[in-house]
Structure 1
């Protein structure tokens, strides 16, 4: 039975290198995918539109606008067999900096504190 492994990478180059290493290790090309999701990280829209007309507030809005950065989430998704094949793939992905998505998620019984 096949399982799906998902690993998160901070850098696209690391995700690509892990993919290349999996292919070199014999995993099928259609079983290994790299996915990138971009996210704009910056102040919320209200920081740009509400300046109350003061010079100081307009300066703050301009500084906030300069700090907007682009952040990406790079994932390698692998369809692998269970057992030794999956263990070998997990070790290889970790070597390139891949983090297990299941270990990053909060437990199922996790409740947010309001």
Structure 2
């Protein structure tokens, strides 16, 4: 039995999930480095102020991993050099993680 179609046009789901989990892990580690040594929080922030950044930043990291996977999977189709695709995907990941950190910490530590 033969497989019809081009195997390079399909997205590898295992690679996608792995990159998203790594991105979420990096986001969780980064925000944990900011939140846990913070000490006594400002009473204006509310009782559960840490929940928002602990959810939003790993989600931003996972979306950065998703973009990373898409850029690296489809660089041949666009005609971009692999080294340039890696550089672009890292920049997109860092910017997305930074924006997620700002969004997660808005109103608390980022004021």
TM-score, normalising length from structure 2?
0.34
Larger RCO, structure (CA 8 Å, separation 6 or more)? 1
**Structure of higher CA gyration radius:** 1
Larger % of helix: which? Answer: 2
